[in-house]
Amino acid sequence: MPKSITLAVTGASGMPYVIALLKELLAREDVLVNFVISKAGIVTMHQELGISLSHNPQLTREKLLEAIDLKVADKFNVYGIEDWYAPVASGSSVADVTIVCPCTMATLAKIANGIGDDLIARSADVAIKERKNLILVPRETPFSAIHLENMLKLAQLGVSIIPPIPAFYTHPATIEDMVNFVVSRILDQAGIGNSLISRW
């Protein structure tokens, strides 16, 4: 059975991470990707990368495959933000790993307080209750005490908190290098081997 990954995208800045993650995940035969994006995420995707997604999951799927230059992806499903019949909404078919990238502070707050009022928050809630791997990539600066308290609460439950902070000891030469550093750390936490960065 392939490892199932839910990739949930909110409206925070950081869409290059999303595209880089998709490229890496869909390049693997042993990974099934379930993708969901918020309405604000659709807006941010267009603003940052010029990729026009749709509220129609099938059209969004086609646009994403075009963006990563992939013609066929058998193990790639896209769901609407209010699709309560999506498997990621159910504890009986919970993903092995759920990644919220990028994660707004509003979504993080909902997850920290068990408010599953859309498919992104619900999929994270299911991951926590089923004791699966949940990875959040919070994008905000500076963090307020409220943000930090919510992150602490989740970290104490075993949630991986990975702010998209670049490293300079790797001597990045391009934006892609900085993106790949963060994506590599996300994949490491997801238990997916990668060679995006040089290892020490």
Domains and CATH numbers, the chain: 3-189 (3.40.50.1950)
8 Å CB contact between 123 and 87: no
Structure tokens at 82: 């209010």
Taking alpha carbons only, the member of 174, 170, 154 closest to residue 162 is 154
pLDDT at 198: 80
Which of the 8 DSSP states describes residue 39?
H
| pLDDT tens per residue across span 58-76 | 999 999 999 999 877 789 9
Q: Give residue 73's pLDDT.
A: 79
Report the C-alpha gap between 88 and 82 in whole angstroms.
12
Q: For the range 159-168, what are the long-range contacts, defined as Cβ-Cβ under 8 Å and sequence gap of 24 or more?
A: 159/128, 159/134, 159/135, 160/133, 160/134, 160/135, 160/136, 160/189, 161/136, 162/135, 162/136, 162/137, 162/186, 162/189, 163/137, 163/138, 163/139, 164/14, 164/17, 164/102, 164/137, 164/139
User: Strand, helix or coil at 11?
Assistant: coil
pLDDT number for residue 92: 87
pLDDT value of position 71: 77
Tokens representing residue 97 in the block:
């790993």
Residues flagged as binding site for FMN = 11-13, 38, 104-107, 139
Q: How deeply is 195 buried, as exposed, middle or buried, from its count of CB atoms within 10 A (0-12, 13-18, 19+)?
A: exposed
Q: 53 phi and psi, to 5 degrees?
A: -90, 175
Q: Considering the chain, what is the average pLDDT of its residues?
A: 95
Is it the case that residue 153 has pLDDT exceeding 80?
A: yes
Averaged pLDDT, 104-116: 97
Residue 101 and residue 33: Cα distance in Å, rounded?
14
The pLDDT value recorded for residue 72 is 72
Is the CB of residue 17 less than 8 Å from the CB of residue 101? yes
Across 49-63, average pLDDT: 95
Q: Which two tokens stand for residue 89?
A: 């909404």
Query: Is pLDDT at 38 greater than 80 in this prediction?
Result: yes
- The annotated binding site is made up of 11-13, 38, 104-107, 139, 169, 185
Binding residues for dimethylallyl phosphate: 169, 185
* pLDDT surpassing 80 at residue 194: yes
